[in-house]
Amino acid sequence: MSILIDSSTRVLVQGLTGKEGRFHAQQMIESGIRVVAGVTPGRGGQQVLGLPVFDSVPEAVQATGANASLLFVPPAAAADACLEALEAGLPLVVCITEGVPVHDMVKVRAESLRRGARLLGPNCPGLISPGKCKLGIMPAGIFSSGPVGVVSRSGTLTYQVVDELTRAGLGQTTCVGIGGDPVLGTGFLEILQLFEQDQETRAVALIGEIGGTAEEDAARWLQQSGLPVVAFIAGQTAPPGKRMGHAGAIVSGSGGTARAKVEAFREAGVHVAETTTEMVQELKALLDRAP
């Protein structure tokens, strides 16, 4: 199985006519993903990569039966594009865009929760279930099918860990990049809960980083869960008050420190790896010990 997406997912690309949208849609199509249409206001009636382009999301959904949207929309328009997709009734919206204003995402997140939809991002690489579906920019060639779920705030570290997992013979059920901004549509906790319900996910790699309390929230939940998890926390040498790459990766006062996150996971009985290689080794050991 997989979470959030599968081989029946029908993908709509908002911003298909732009350079990034076209490039990544091409990669998805070549991977066998069911990309069914694009949306760019004012470009309705055109075709890109052999796909119809519509002026609005409701038009595209009605014509194609799309059930997920992937956004490559400039920051100033990204929130409105997310809201349009949510209002059209799409159950899954993935926002790749970086630099979306925080106050815009507060409104979008609230709307996604009100509608019971799943919003992923912004500033995220998307998600992939190897051999089934991909929504986003993850390089499909390094992934393989198997029993390990992956959830991460860092795209680059996701690729590093997945490459090592695949080389070690440990395939993945679904890999989810939740994004690195202060306000996200979906956090660690929600993804872990989905993995717990997935019978094929036997262990999870959680890649966190400094800033915010999402990792601590996940650790508190894991104290009551039997889900096997190995964690890795990036940014342990970052100086307080300095942003490290992601808008959400900033430590203020005593909150969001690497130490606090590591301690929270250890209190929950979760192994915290010092390196990505150690993370893969521990995941293999967990799977070997499992009945």
Q: Are residues 154 and 260 in the same domain?
A: yes
Strand 133-136 and strand 126-129: pairing?
antiparallel
Write down the pLDDT at residue 249: 46
Establish if 138 belongs to a structural domain.
no
The Cα–Cα gap between 178 and 129 comes to 15
Are residues 79 and 177 both part of a single domain?
Answer: no
Domain boundary among 60, 85, 120: 120
Q: Which residues contact 69 (CB under 8 A, 6 or more apart)?
A: 11, 12, 13, 14, 57, 85, 90, 92, 93, 94
Under 8 Å between Cβ of 91 and 117? yes
User: Quick check: is 63 in a domain?
Assistant: yes
- Residue 246 appears among annotated catalytic residues: yes
Q: Are 180 and 246 found together in one domain?
A: yes
Pairing of strands 126-129, 51-54: unpaired
Q: Is there a domain that residue 137 lies in?
A: no
Return the CATH number at 174: 3.40.50.261
Low-confidence ranges of the chain (pLDDT < 70): 1, 235-255
Count the domains in the chain: 2
Examine residue 1 and state whether it is found in any structural domain, yes or no.
no
**In this structure, how many other beta carbons lie within 10 angstroms of the beta carbon of residue 2?**
24
Prediction pTM value: 0.93
- Polymer length of the chain: 291
Residue 111 Cα distances to 40, 55, 56, 132, 256, angstroms: 22, 22, 19, 28, 26
Q: Residue 290's pLDDT is what? A: 75
Residue among 220, 200, 216, 199 at smallest CA distance from 208: 216
Q: Are residues 154 and 239 in the same domain?
A: yes
Between CA 15 and CA 22 the distance in angstroms is 8
Question: Which residues span the domain enclosing 237?
Answer: 143-289
Same domain for 266 and 227? yes
Are 109 and 177 in a shared domain? no
pLDDT given at position 238: 56
Considering the candidates 24, 103, 246, 271, report the single residue annotated as catalytic: 246
Residues 7 and 35: beta-carbon distance below 8 Å: no
Domain boundary among 60, 88, 120: 120
